């Protein structure tokens, strides 16, 4: 099977994440996409919403898509959530699968700085999706990244960020149609992100 791995803080997950995942699934004919919330993202300084809440929101966001699922693999591991550790683990658990990392093209530029990037690229291909306001000149990328990269430029580009959503929620602004309704209800029930 061809499995897309979409890792992230998902603080909170939003429609932009889901649209990117669906476009990657369609572009590379992926069988499934596994959303993997990071417990302790090494590149983002906290504070973050509690990992259990972030996983619960991801589970609700992907529940109605037959090819999407949430995984707690990084939440159950101690220490920082390094992609290389996740991919080594998944490769051992599911040697029959081909794995593809899904990310915004803006993150593709940072790949050379990732922890043990060469080991990651030995194990997976990368699907980079262009986002509004970002461009990517493949000449800027290392030959190793270019060889393993599929750049998806077609499709809907949605300019939503989790940071912007958190700010909207703190101000008490509407996030309707920016996040799945099931996620909005979960946030409301658990009093997450709202004005203090």
**Res 154: pLDDT:** 80
Strand order across the 124-129 sheet? 68-70, 32-37, 2-8, 98-104, 124-129, 149-152
CATH number at residue 143: 3.40.50.620
On whether residue 67 sits in a domain, the answer given is: yes
In a domain, 131, yes or no: yes
Count of the separate structural domains present in the chain: 1
Q: What is the pTM of this model?
A: 0.93
Range of weakest confidence among 33-37, 67-71, 77-81: 77-81
Do 4 and 71 contact (CB within 8 A), yes or no? no
Residue 166 pLDDT > 90:
yes
Average of pLDDT values for 16-41? 95
Residue 193: inside a domain: no
Most confident among 32-46, 69-83, 138-152 (mean pLDDT): 69-83
Strands 2-8 and 32-37: parallel
Confidence of residue 44 (pLDDT cuts 50, 70, 90): low
Helix, strand, or coil (residue 134): coil
CA–CA dist 15, 110 (Å, integer): 23
Task: Provide the domain limits for residue 61.
Answer: 2-160
**Residue range 53-73: average pLDDT?**
98
Range list of H helices, 41-111: 51-62, 83-93, 105-108
The region of weakest confidence among 84-93, 130-139, 177-186 is 130-139
């Amino acid at each position: 099977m061809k499995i897309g791995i979409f890792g992230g803080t998902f603080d909170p997950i939003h429609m932009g994440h889901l649209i990117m995942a669906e476009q990657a699934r369609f572009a590379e004919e992926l069988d499934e996409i596994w959303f993997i919330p990071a417990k302790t993202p090494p590149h983002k300084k906290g504070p973050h919403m509690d990992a259990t809440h972030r996983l619960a929101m991801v589970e609700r966001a992907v529940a109605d898509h037959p090819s999407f699922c949430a995984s707690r693999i990084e939440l159950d591991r101690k220490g920082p959530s390094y992609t290389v550790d996740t991919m080594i683990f998944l490769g051992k658990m599911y040697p029959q699968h081909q794995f593809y990392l899904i990310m915004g093209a803006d993150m593709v530029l940072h790949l050379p700085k990732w922890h043990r990037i060469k080991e990651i690229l030995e194990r997976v291909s990368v699907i980079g999706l262009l986002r509004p306001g970002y461009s990517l000149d493949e000449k800027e990328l290392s030959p190793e990244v270019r060889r393993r990269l599929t750049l998806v430029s077609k499709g809907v580009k949605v300019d939503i960020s989790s940071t912007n959503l958190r700010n909207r929620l703190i101000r008490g602004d509407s996030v309707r149609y920016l996040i799945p309704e099931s996620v909005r209800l979960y946030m409301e029930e658990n009093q997450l992100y709202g004005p203090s």
